[in-house]
Amino acid sequence: MITTDFVPGSPCWLDLGTPDVQGAAAFYGSVLGWNFEAMGSPDEPEGGMFRKDGKIVAGLGKLTEQGAKSAWMIYYSVADADSTTRAVEAANGTVRVAPTDLDEWGRMAQYTDPQGAQFAVWQPGSTKGVELVDVPGSLSWTELYTTDAAAAKGFYGSVLGWQYSETEMPGGGGTYTMITPGGLPEERMHGGLMELPEQQLAQAGGRPYWHPVFAVSDCDEAVAAVTGNKGKVQMGPDDAEGVGRLAVCLDPWGAEFVVLAASGS
């Protein structure tokens, strides 16, 4: 489970890059019950914060990188962004954004792993991370689709200190790797990774990628909100034994996310 103590290697923040800040704010407000707190001009905001029940659950910003596609970026907590950057380079990853101070809030950096998936880290200052997780309307899991699971495990293990456990997918669907911060018990697992052939990663042009899983009370209601607000459903809703009912979705600008009504919720 994801918690807000944000030990090293655990997910602590996420933000969405989009070409339409106001449209994305309205979409996720309808799907996840989020309220948007704009930064900059109220009429043409450059970004802001999403809140659920008054607590920050994610960030939102206007895409500025030439040719960039709308996507969610997941940040993992680290003690030292500079040493993490050196570990990324030593493990043949790429530094997209060098460690940068964001006032007193903290220090961030963004990377690409050797297979092509983008992720980020956050060295906390006054801001540790999001304020609400693992309840409906908030982040409950992070997931990597990759073309080489063994290489991904080696890379993230060396960079973020993760430990892994394996489970077989139902129906002979392959192996799913579950991720836990180093030194913690499996009940603190916060994500998973799965190997897929390049042709099944068309959403990202064949490149591996991370996506967030958001908890919802009712998966079918969330899916109806997605499609009713010009989003799309890539897969589901389906029931996953021991996990819950889930669907893989796209927002109207192509950013992928999952909605999950966990078993027993």
Task: Round to whole Å and give the CA distance between 50 and 254.
Answer: 19
Distance between first and last Cα of the chain: 14
CA distances from 65 to 46, 62, 69, 153, 211 (A): 14, 9, 9, 28, 19
Question: Residues spanned by CATH 3.10.180.10 within the chain?
Answer: 11-124, 139-262
pLDDT for res 197: 86
How many alpha carbons lie under 13 Å from residue 126 in its C-beta half-sphere? 5
Report the Cα 106 to chain-centroid distance in Å: 19
Kindly state the average pLDDT of the residues 176-187: 94
| % of the chain with per-residue pLDDT over 90 | 81
pLDDT for res 130: 97
pLDDT for res 51: 98
CA distances from 212 to 45, 58, 95, 190 (A): 24, 11, 21, 11
pLDDT for res 242: 81
pTM of the model: 0.94
196: number of Cβ within 10 Å = 14
pLDDT for res 240: 85
**The token pair that represents 262 in the structure block:** 């966990």
167 pLDDT exceeds 80? yes
| CATH of range 139-262; options 3.60.130.10, 1.20.1420.20, 3.10.180.10, 3.40.640.10 | 3.10.180.10
Identify whether the C-beta of residue 77 lies closer than 8 Å to the C-beta of residue 122: yes
Summarize pLDDT for 30-57 with one digit per residue, the tens.
999 999 998 876 677 789 999 999 999 9
Fold type of domain 11-124: 2,3-Dihydroxybiphenyl 1,2-Dioxygenase; domain 1 (3.10.180)
Summarize pLDDT for 62-104 with one digit per residue, the tens.
987 777 789 999 999 999 999 999 999 999 999 999 999 999 9
Summarize pLDDT for 212-250 with one digit per residue, the tens.
999 999 999 999 999 999 999 999 899 888 888 999 999
